[in-house]
Amino acid sequence: MPSKNLSKRLLRGAARIREPLSQLYVARRLARGIEDASRAHERRGMSHLVRPVGPIIWFHVFGLQGALNLVGVMQRICEEMPEITCLVTSQDQITDCVFDVRMPEGVLHQYAPFDKPAAVKRFLDYWSPSLCIWTDDALMPVMIQEISERGMSSILANIVNIDMANPHISGLSNIGKPLLQNFSQILASNLEAKLQVERFGATAKLMGALCEEALALPHDEKRRSRIVKQLDGRPVWLAVGVCLDEIDQILAAQKKALSQTHRLLLIIVPKRREDADRICNGCKTLDLHFKKSNDLDEIPPRTEVIVAKGFDGLGLWYQIAAVCFVGGSLGPHGGHNPLEVANFGSAIIHGPHVDNYADIYMRLRDAGAAIEIASVPSLVKAVTELVIPNRAAAMAHAGWMVSSEGAEATDALVEVIWDHYPMGAAP
């Protein structure tokens, strides 16, 4: 086993190799206008934020999805220990909407500093966190070593693949071993990751995968009962978050599916409210009888499409439809988060373009909760097969199980945080 001084030299050597790549990465993002130039000083360990009085728990993530996966954890911390401030650092910019809509009030964000001694020291001197939480593939050798030397506790959580996540460490056991041994606890998301950690000479606890928790969407139960009574057992499918370039394909699928499934009803929710009129025009072109969602006091039996104008009634539509196509996935839009669909007990259909939530979709497909389609004919086939009574039930249950995994992992991580948090800590 390398000596402490040798380990330190190895870790700092790895950081020196990585540093030019990190700076080039930031420079390219600045050139493309996707990095805030006014906050470039944060990369040097400084901050535009005023440090709040009291203890801080620091979460370091790679980017947007990593932050979203921790929303539930931070919510719990804010509720159980309101005197604690949560700080999130990321390698990538986290959009304002995430903090405005999803993050608990008071959570702070800044860019992670470069992993070099001067920047690391400035950052830690300023924020002086009581506990550090690292997730996914966002490891910084110099920072981790410095945290350890200061006697601060740190937790590595949600590890999926330690080799793949850290290419500058991959295959270099002399670096990987001292790096991992600096953590107070390591939590693996799966058995393979646990075994990889152990091959580096460290220990890990199997936690399960953190994932973005689904929002609880309200619905009017009286309205739901009234609509269900009018539908009188009709098969229903939902297309949610449909982008403009997907509208014609969804409507064409409904037209074709109607010839195979008697009384089939489509509820379509566009991504943009202003696209509702485009859907209505498309229905007219294909001779599909439609009703707008704000005019459902009566749903004539001949109604073939319900056009929703926005996401306001989404909780209602999830309760009515047993099958859901998640939009933004037929074209190169990256897809939408399917967890809220799974949480409401719908079988999931999606296109091939789900890069924004690739890991979640993979888990849903592996569990048998989602079907990938690539064309109108394959969408028709999936819809007509799944709307058969009870056909979608097994998929819906599998999806609900996947949506529940994130909550279990959240509970496990919160428990570990309190185990390692120095109670009464304050800078």
CATH at residue 271: 3.40.50.2000
Residue 95 is predicted with a pLDDT of 54
Does residue 415 form part of some domain?
Answer: no
Residue 165 is predicted with a pLDDT of 44
Does residue 414 form part of some domain?
Answer: no
Q: Are residues 184 and 304 in the same domain?
A: no
Q: Are residues 43 and 96 in the same domain?
A: yes
Q: Are residues 227 and 206 in the same domain?
A: no
Q: Which of 314, 261, 256 is nearest to 288 (CA)?
A: 256
Residue 30 is predicted with a pLDDT of 61
DSSP conformational letter for 99: I
290-292 and 370-372 as β-strands: parallel, antiparallel, unpaired?
unpaired
Q: Are residues 248 and 202 in the same domain?
A: no
Q: Which of 204, 99, 186 is nearest to 135 (CA)?
A: 186
Domain of residue 119, residue span: 4-210
Residues 251 and 288 sit within 8 Å (Cβ to Cβ): yes
Residue 25 is predicted with a pLDDT of 62
Residue 164 is predicted with a pLDDT of 40
Rounded Cα distance between 266 and 321, Å, is 9
Residue 168 is predicted with a pLDDT of 44
Residue 104 is predicted with a pLDDT of 83
CATH (domain of 139): 3.40.50.11720
Q: Are residues 283 and 380 in the same domain?
A: yes
Residues 187 and 156 sit within 8 Å (Cβ to Cβ): yes
**Which residues, given as ranges, of the chain have pLDDT below 50?**
1-2, 97, 164-173, 426-427
Q: How many domains does the chain have?
A: 2
Q: Are residues 202 and 329 in the same domain?
A: no
Q: Are residues 172 and 149 in the same domain?
A: yes
Residues 90 and 232 sit within 8 Å (Cβ to Cβ): no
- Residue 240's alpha-carbon distances to 127, 143, 250, 311, 371, in angstroms, are 42, 43, 10, 9, 15
Q: Are residues 243 and 158 in the same domain?
A: no
Beginning with the edge strand found earlier in the chain, give each strand of the sheet holding 56-61 in spatial order. 108-111, 85-90, 56-61, 131-135, 153-159, 185-188, 205-206
Does residue 420 form part of some domain?
Answer: no
Whole-model pTM above 0.75? Answer: no
Place of tokens 């944060």: 42
Does residue 12 form part of some domain?
Answer: yes
Q: Are residues 333 and 377 in the same domain?
A: yes
**Residues ≥6 apart with Cβ < 8 Å to 148:** 154, 182
Q: Are residues 231 and 192 in the same domain?
A: no
Does residue 28 form part of some domain?
Answer: yes
DSSP conformational letter for 104: P
Q: Are residues 247 and 181 in the same domain?
A: no
Residue 167 is predicted with a pLDDT of 45
Does residue 196 form part of some domain?
Answer: yes
**Residues ≥6 apart with Cβ < 8 Å to 312:** none
Q: Are residues 131 and 193 in the same domain?
A: yes
